[in-house]
Amino acid sequence: MTETLTASAAAREAAAPRLATRTRGLRKVYRSAVAVDGVDMDVPAGAVVGMLGPNGSGKTTTIRMLLGLVRPTEGEVELLGQPMPAASEISLPHVGALVEGPGFHPFLSGRDNLLRLAAAEPLLGRRQLDAAVSDALERVGLSDAAQRAYKGYSLGMKQRLGLAGALLAPRRFVVLDEPTNGLDPAGTREIRRIIADLHAEGVTVLVSSHLLAEVEATCTHVVVLNQGTVVAQGELDELLESTSPTLLVSTPDGQPAVDALRDNRIPARLAPEGVRVDLSATTPSSVIETLVRAEVAVEEARRERTGLEDLFARLTQAGDPEDVPLDRVPELMS
Amino acid sequence: MTMTTAPVTGEWRLTKARVALPRLLWAELRWIFRRPRTLVVLGLLAVIPVIIGIALSFADGGPTGDADPPVFVTAASSALALPIGALTVLLGLLLPLTVTKAAGDALAGEQANGTLRGWLLAPVGKGRLLLVKAFGVAVVGLVAAGLVGTTGFLTGLISNGTDGLFTLSGTTLPLLDALGRVAIAVGWVTVQLWALGAVALAISACTEHPMLVLATVLGGVIVSQVLLVFESLDWLHPFLLPASWDALINLVRDPIWWDGLGEGVLRAACYLAIGLSLAYARLVTSDG
């Protein structure tokens, strides 16, 4: 029965790019509240996907459903091509996760905590346990504190130990829920390095975070959640460019430039060092051409790339009137 | 090594992998018996029969007053009555506490620490998880009862020698026979503790607070013992686990009175089955 199911799944996916996880119509209702609704999320193999969203947007609930910790009220989840939670014994050994903060026994040392966790890892042989634990501790820089009781760990050390737990066995997919919580800047950089290493090894990574700079620095893809639904997902570069088709032109003649552009039906407005031109209906070259013809002194023109912060604000807040309304970015809604 | 023979599924070419059960059981035991508070309570259980033995040997021998339970009057001069008397007394509260605490830590405590997640994600299936947890609690029960029996018997032998193996009926038993009876007593008490442990596991699966498990189960034990005092409630008594706990004394009689003991095992088996079923049902339906 599972044989035929997975065989047909393989055939179905042969054409499409391989996905580390795929959800369709995912919905979770807790007693009174809808935590997640209609989430269709794709995590392409080999990508580093940043999962963004304000607190309470359903990030953790979605992750918990991906991992089979929570049963969806509706919808389906595939993890490494296997239906969850039915085939968790096939997929989960290859998945490392740090969910809802590190969970360890206070009275055991960091090393003993990891040994206990490693004992349950199907991919580790009995004789490999010690080495696997040492490697994981080394990887997160905790080797020196390995023998100390967990209760004496700082917040950052606890977080690192949690990360070590996710990296105990060789993984195909690593899920990190707020991995930089409680870490100092050096610790944050280290997490970034670990994610980059995993990426280089071809491991797919899903990182949830509300620290946007962190996501922008480490991710190839993003998924933005708001109020339990996906409001945008795709490659980071594409998303950033598609939302902000503007050209920033530096010029001392701001007002004449705006007038000239408006005469040619190109929307533009004054900006501190010049004018900001909307590129949704025109190209940078015709903007420059128009300005040069109007004898406006153009000092510099560059395509403006809005930071992730702006994009995020637009997608998750009812923004001020100057913001691009959601229906103006249909390409994000897919 | 097995990659070529094991069924490879899906485009990710994954193989189904499972940890051998003994490895999980061993990891669970290591965790339980490295826990400082487990060791403290077990140490206490080992010492109490010695304290009882010492107290009785200072009691000038013979009946000291009507207030002493008859088993301890005998225990003052019998190496057989001491361990069984100690088991009877400790079964009233401290032994249930030990097992209930273990069951509370097993699921509720692990849930509260966030450590249950680690095993569920490894993954350890919920059925196997319950099996491992029940095994751990069962071992704690056996070790606790075994310690009391062992130190009680040794204390009795040291203070009274091997020729003082009197029963309540006035006969004397050979050493091996007495040893067998103490072993039966330990086994019987262990089964009662397993029954409590199973119920405690069921409650443990429903909460994140080990103290709640402790309060509920020990509260239940105490209330049951109070209800057993009232004869007007005798229709209720067959349903109460502690109803047969007095029967332990029948092992010090010659010949042994098996009636109460057999009934006690049956009652414990019912509690065990119900407790484990509820725990399993709760585990598989809950969102971890």
The answer to whether B270 touches B264, Cβ cutoff 8 Å, is no
Q: Predicted confidence band at A55 (pLDDT cuts at 50, 70, 90)? A: confident
A252-296 tens-digit pLDDT: 888 888 888 888 888 888 887 788 888 777 888 888 888 888 888
Nearest to B47 by CA among B144, B192, B181: B144
Answer for the pair A301, A284: CB distance below 8 angstroms, yes or no: yes
More confident residue, B76 or B286: B286
Given an 8 Å threshold on Cβ–Cβ distance, is B117 in contact with A100? Answer: yes
* B254 pLDDT more than 60: yes
What whole-number percentage of chain B has pLDDT above 90?
59
Mean pLDDT of all residues in B236-265: 87
Within the 254-273 window of chain B, which residues sit less than 8 Å (CB to CB) from chain A?
none
Q: Which residues of B touch A80 (CB under 8 A)?
A: 10, 12, 14
Distances (CA, A) of A57 to A52, A96, A232: 9, 23, 13
B66 close contact with A: CB closer than 8 A:
no
Q: What is the pLDDT of residue B64?
A: 47
Distance CA A328, CA A135 (A): 49
Write down the architecture of domain A245-304 according to CATH.
Answer: 2-Layer Sandwich (3.30)
**Terminal Cα distance for chain A, rounded:** 33
In the structure, what pLDDT confidence band is assigned to residue A246 with cuts at 50, 70 and 90?
A: confident
Asked if CATH classification 3.30.200.20 holds for the domain at A18-235, the reply, yes or no, is no
pLDDT tens readout for residues B199-229: 999 999 999 999 999 999 999 999 999 999 9
ipTM metric: 0.84
B88, B71 contact by CB (below 8 A): yes
pLDDT computed for residue A309 by the predictor: 73
Angle separating helix axes B175-204 and B258-285, nearest 10 degrees: 30
Element (H, E) at A313: helix A308-316
Q: How many CA atoms lie within 13 A of A140 on its CB side?
A: 29
Output A112 or A252, whichever has higher pLDDT.
Answer: A112
The contacts of residue B91 (CB under 8 Å, 6+ apart) are B189, B192, B245, B248
Residue listed under structure tokens 């509706």: A74
Return the SS3 of A317. coil
Q: Are B118 and A103 inside 8 Å of each other by CB?
A: yes
The β-bridge relationship of strands B8-9 and B14-15 is antiparallel
Q: Over range B222-245, report the average pLDDT.
A: 90
Return the SS3 of A176: strand
How big is the CA angle at A192 (ends A188 and A198), to the nearest 5 degrees?
A: 145
Give B12→chain A minimum CA distance, Å.
6
Of A105, A111, A153, which to mutate for an interface test with B (greatest number of B Cβ within 10 Å)?
A105
Residues A202, A48: contact at Cβ < 8 Å? no
Distance from CA of B179 to the nearest CA of A (A): 38
Domain coordinates of chain A in residue numbers?
18-235, 245-304
Q: Which tokens is B55 given?
A: 């107290």
